[in-house]
Structure 1
Amino acid sequence: MSDFRAIATVTATLRRVLLAALPQDVAGATVTTVRPAEGDNASTPDTGVNVFLYQVNPNPQWRNEDLPGRRTDGELAQRPVAALDLYYLLSFYGEEATLEAQQLLGSTVAFLHTQPILPRSEVTAAVAGSAFLAGSDLAQQVDLVRLTPLTMTLEELSRLWSVLLQVKYALSVVYRASIVLLERRVTPQPALPVRDVALAALPLRHPTLRRVIAGSGEDDPITPGADVVLEGDGLAAPVTVVEIDGQATGTTEVRDNHIVLTLPAALAAGPHGVQVRQGVAMGAPGVQHLAFGSTAGAFIVHPVITKTGNVDDVEVTNVQGLGAAPRSARIRVGVAPAVLRRQTAVLELVTVQLGPDGSGHDVVVQHSVQAADRASDTSRLTFEPTGLAPGQYLVRVRVDGAESPLEEDQAGTPIGPVGAIP
């Protein structure tokens, strides 16, 4: 990188290399670096070239290489670098009768085409020969400054010369000098030292999760605290982590085509997301670096109606109504896991209707009612249904759409839990 003298150093070096080359072709040619002017203020040469810096632009390629120079706390992290392109107007002067201006133009273009860069040796010599450039370090810049001719239409050229008021046009060409990197001599806050280096190389992995089923069988409902099986491909890795709703869950068996785990007993009823993530353990003991993730999966945790002393926690109280009149009642049901305050809970009183030949059955919902409002999570829900016909019902609870399973006999006919409406 270069300091604030870099722009002036480019101009001085360009003047130096042209001053050494042009007299070899046109005797007496000189090189100046002044603003074109007329009359008493004219400092352009009688025979020679005038180098005039007329425009400076940010370099579009390098401007995005400069990372943010400060940390979030305002401390300087690195030296900011300004990348610039310099635009020079080279004007040629000389005896018109002998076409000296045109000869100088040809000599300059041929020279800069042959030597389009400013060598470090010439930059160093230009700095040594100019007291006002002492200390310039352009020669140490990473990239050499390159000169590129630019094409300008007659309209663009006329606009450029119109900026120079009361100055007659002289035969000219335009060159771009790129790139000049400027930075201030500020001291950034050093980064913390690296205490340890940990490196691991892994092949790209694409674990796939196809389905989630209950460990007891693919047709069984998934209940709290039960074993589940994740089926898929490429599931085994040096480090395999199963995340349920973004939280890591322990596993009991990990194979390439399936993973077995036990659900947390407190996992809320309802739908949940699951993903298998893989990586490598490195660095500090126990630190896992997860780099790959499987396709996302989903499963539903079904609530269960709890038992106390092998008796279903279904309590029917405050029954109102006599004879053939419809009944109202208060029904309390114990469920696991605890139902969250934000979850929707619905009680269903169902009956079983056998098929004509007695070989099949249908479960028919006779009554459904939403749980009473609650102020906190609870494992005991209260329902107050009305319009009930007396009789014995199977009791089922739905939490966020997930229904509690019914108990079945050996023939597969639902037999419980039971609630009786007298």
Structure 2
Amino acid sequence: MSNVLAIAAATRTLRNLLLAQMPALDPELSDLEVTLQPPDIARKGISKSQLNLFLFQVVGNAAWSNLDMPGQVRPGENASPALALNLHYLITAWGRGESDSDALSHRVLAAAMSTLHDRRVLDGNDIRNALPDNDLASQFERVRITLMPQSVEELSKLWTAFQTNYRVSAAYEAAVVLIDSQAATRAPLPVLRRGAQDRGVFASASAAPVLDSLGYPRAQVALRLGEDIVLGGRQLTTEHALVRFSSLRLDAPVDLPPLAGAAGTLGVHLADTTEDADAASRWAPGIYTVALLLQPPGLPPLLSNELPLALAPLITLGALTAAAGDITLNLSCLPRLRDGQRVFLLFGDRLLPPQSISNPADLHQPTALVFQVPGVSAGTYTVRLRVDGADSIPVDFSGSVPAFAGNQQVVVT
């Protein structure tokens, strides 16, 4: 492949080739000058016969854009492909002076096109001599020159962009130029064993479990510690199975054993702090995904699809009464909050950010939060805590009819 001098090397090679060969084809072009200027300034200060070679477009080469270089990257290795480019040139001809009465510009153009037709593949020695330190000649693919027919519309757009009068011209493509990627190549070590004891691939006739539904208790919209969920689906079993709870807020997933349920269902219980002393720090309120993991002995694990779950915070208010005006509200939250979680207080219909959040050094203790609620008038306000989109549940389900829990309300007098 080539270094970053490849485009310049291709241009200089074409210029040198045209300058050397065209006078030999037509002795009238002994004073020929080959330039590399934009068409609008190419003729400034020049009165003799002239050919201008202008690189007007560079496009990606689709065929090479995702290919590894032969002999450089082997199967199983990871390397960025080369930057593969097609170069589009416009050659423009001028005769001597301004009138060009003898149509010398046509002879200039014909000699240039004949030269490019006879040397459609750039010679390696010509490339090496065109520009010091370039290695375009060593790339795997040769650089080929092809005439690009231009419609009247394309020519009109092209010369309009040049903002100059049209001159007799022709377009050519030089392809392909491959520039080395600077990204590191990764070459893994050869495989010595295919799995444990070189047993190769494991095959299992059973299908992975599929979860179709997740049910909260009492038609709630979230789960709390100490409550159960019901998973519905197919190929569900409690044998060698774990229910995996995953969250971006946790360092590792939490795996719990499932409980047998009705046909096609499994139950899962989330222990609270009375059942699990570490529950306060094991979990974090917020959004989880739930999956069923099967781990048969001697076989690779099978993981089901994932379903979303909201784990609601359990909150305790520091005071249930307050005087009207600006209120400072203290509350605690279980499970404990993690760094980076988005926390808001819903005080009645108002949404407020916390003034402070603190986690005690004792991992068994809840998170303490302080909120400032300005301009509160008399009344009874239901309080909720929203953590990463999961709201605490301010409802008491112990009676025959659900009602707002008195310990989740603040009475302002």
Q: Which has the higher strand share?
A: 1
> What TM-score range do you get, normalising by the shorter chain?
0.3 to 0.5
Q: Which has the larger radius of gyration?
A: 1
When the two structures are superposed, what TM-score results if normalisation uses the length of structure 1? 0.43
When the two structures are superposed, what TM-score results if normalisation uses the length of structure 2? 0.44
